[in-house]
Structure 1
Amino acid sequence: MSVAVRALVARSLVRLYPGAFRERWGEMVEDEARGAGWKSWPNLVVGIADMWLHPAHWPADSPAQRQRRVATMGITVALAAWFLSHVAAEQGDALPSADVRTAVTHGCTALLLLGLALVAPRPRPAVGAAVMLLRWALRRLALPTTVGTAAVLLVHSGIDTSPPTLRAAVLAGWWIALGLGAVQIPRIFTGVGAEAVLPPPIGRLRAGVWTLAAASAAGGAAVLGASLSDGFHLLGAAVGTGLLLLTAVCAGTLRDLRELPASTD
Structure 2
Amino acid sequence: MSVVTRSLVRLYPDAFRERWGAMVEDEARGAGWKSWPNLTVGIVDMWLHPAHWPADSPAQRQRRVATMGITVALAAWFLSHLAAEQAGPLPADGVREQVTHGCTTLLLLGIALVAPRPRPTLRAAITLAGWALRRLAVPAVLGAGVVALVHGGVEADASPPSLRTAVLAAWWISLGLGAVQIPRIFTGVGADAVVPPGTGRLRVGVWTLAGASATGGATILGLSLAGDGFHPLGAGIGTGLLLLTAVCAGTLRDLRDLPSVP
Residue 106 of structure 1 aligns with which residue? 101
Separation in 2, partners of 1:160, 1:240? 31
Residue type of the alignment partner of 2:232: L
Q: How many Å separate the matches in 1 of 2:166 and 2:69? A: 32
Alignment counterpart, residue 194 of structure 2, candidates 174, 185, 197: 197
Aligned partners of 1:73 and 1:159: how far apart in 2? 38
Q: Could you give the per-residue CA deviations for residues 30-53 of structure 1, whole angstroms, max 9, x where no partner exists?
A: 010100001110000000000000
Contact 2:9 2:17 in 1 (8 A): yes
1:218 aligns with 2:250: no
Question: Which of residues 152, 168, 171 is equivalent to 1:171?
Answer: 168
The answer to whether the 8 A contact 1:63-1:262 is kept is: no
Whether contact under 8 Å (2:127, 2:189) holds in the other structure is yes
In structure 2, the partner of 1:3 is none
1:142: which partner in 2?
137
Report if aligned partners of 1:129, 1:195 keep a CA contact under 8 Å in 2: yes
How many Å apart are 1:262 and its aligned residue? Answer: 3.5
* Cα 1:154–1:241 shift into 2, 3 Å: same
Distance 1:220 1:193 in 2: 34
- Count, aligned residues: 259
Deviation at 1:83, TM superposition (A): 0.1
TM-score (structure 2 length as normaliser): 0.97
Q: Does 1:71 align with 2:69?
A: no
Task: Give identity over the alignment, percent.
Answer: 76
Offset at 1:99? 2.7
From 227, 234, 237, the counterpart of 1:236: 234
1:25 to 11, 20, 27: 20
1:53 alignment partner in structure 2: 48
Instruction: Tell whether the 8 Å contact from 1:100 to 1:223 is kept in structure 2 after alignment.
Output: no
Q: How much does 1:261 deviate? A: 1.5
Equivalent position amino acid for 1:209 in 2: V
Gaps of 5+ in 1: 1-5
CA–CA separation in structure 2 for the residues paired with 1:232 and 1:68: 41
Match of 1:9 in 2: 4
Secondary structure in structure 2 of the residue aligned to 1:193:
coil
CA RMSD of aligned residues (A): 1.0
String of CA shifts for 1:29-80, please: whole Å, max 9, x gaps.
0010100001110000000000000000000000000000000000000000
Q: Distance in 1 between matches of 2:162 and 2:258?
A: 52
Query: What's the CA shift for 1:104?
Result: 1.9
Question: Gaps spanning 5+ residues in structure 2: where?
Answer: none
Q: How far, CA to CA, are the matches of 1:53 and 1:217 in structure 2?
A: 18
Cα deviation code 1:221-243 (max 9, x no counterpart): 00000000121100000000000
In the alignment, which of 168, 177, 180 is matched to residue 180 of structure 1? 177
2:225 and 2:231 in contact (8 A); partners too: yes
The letter for the 2-side match of 1:240 is G
Secondary structure at the aligned position of 2:190 is classed as: helix
The SS at the match of 2:191 is helix
**8 Å Cα contact 2:200-2:261 kept in structure 1:** no
* Aligned mates of 1:210, 1:44 — CA distance in 2: 30
